[in-house]
Structure 1
Amino acid sequence: MRLTSYTDYSLRTLMYLATVDREKLTSIKEISNAYSISYNHLTKVGHELSKLHLIESVKGRNGGIRLSAEPKDINIGWVVRQTEDNFHMVECFSSENTCLLAGGCELQSALREALNAYLAVLDQYTLEDVTANNARLFSLFQTALQT
């Protein structure tokens, strides 16, 4: 299973916000610079994360973003489900399935089982789990911002 860059950027944004001072606002530009990824793409990600109530967005000259929930309360599997546009691994997962084997093939059920197992593993992790080495991550972000 491959995640879209949108989901990747969503997870990276949340990880960044989990490592910085929760009282301080962070800018999309800062996160974009730390990861060397597109500011425009990250702005869209930030908007979606705000709609999902995962981050708080403060507008204005001194505005920015921060987590709106504790990292221990943000489930990675849930985030992936919310940010992926579909999980159509093969044609038979789509409503426009024209595969000759539809209705007689067991591949779809095997792949669905694999997808469910994949998501079940992600459901076992929170943002707190994947940022447990917070100090090391913060150091890496600071080094990236200095270059």
Structure 2
Amino acid sequence: MQLTSFTDYGLRALIYMASLPEGKMTNITEVTQVYGVSRNHMVKIINQLSRAGFVMAVRGKNGGIRLGKPAQTIRIGDVVRALEPLSLVNCNHDFCHITPACRLKGVLQQGVQRFLFELDQHTLADMVKENPPLYKLLLVE
């Protein structure tokens, strides 16, 4: 299974925000520069993360973005659930004629659940705490 670039950059944006001093604001331009992704793409990602409560977006002159809740409460599995389309196969009767007898969808759903279970064992804080090489790569003060 491979995550979409949308989810990948969503996780990276959260890691960047979690590596900043607690409560410090950043902005979308800064995040896009760190990761070399298009601003339009990152705007969509941050919007989705904001709707899911992982990011707080503040408009205006002193605005910006920051984590919407403490990093230790943000489970990686929850972020993936919020950003990733987790349907691995198209089991539409019009698309696949074996749908009524197929067991593949159930097996794949079990695999996704086990994958998410593992991701739920890790928080955003786990990704950044005591990680000086990360801070150096992200140029976080």
TM-score, length basis structure 2 = 0.89
Q: How does 1:19-38 map to 2 (within 5 A)?
A: 19-38=19-38
The aligned counterpart of 2:105 is: 108
Code of the aligned partner of 2:64: G
Structure-2 change in CA distance of 1:67 and 1:134 (3 Å): farther
Distance 1:23 1:63 in 2: 12
Distance 1:97 1:51 in 2: 33
Unaligned runs of 5+ in 2: none
Q: Give, in angstroms, the shift of residue 62 of structure 1.
A: 2.6
Structure-2 change in CA distance of 1:83 and 1:97 (3 Å): farther
Unaligned runs of 5+ in 1: none
108, 113, 130: which is aligned to 2:127? 130
Larger relative contact order, structure 1 or 2 (CA cutoff 8 Å, min sep 6): 1
Q: Give, in angstroms, the shift of residue 106 of structure 1.
A: 2.1
Distance 2:73 2:125 in 1: 8
- RMSD of Structure 2 on Structure 1 (CA): 1.7
The aligned counterpart of 1:88 is: 87
TM-score, length basis structure 1 = 0.86
The aligned counterpart of 1:121 is: 118
Question: Number of paired residues?
Answer: 140
Render the CA deviation track for 1:58-80: whole Å, top value 9, x for unaligned: 21223211112111100111111
Code of the aligned partner of 2:68: S
Q: Give, in angstroms, the shift of residue 103 of structure 1.
A: 2.1
Q: Does structure 2 conserve the Cα–Cα contact (< 8 Å) formed by 1:78 and 1:123?
A: yes
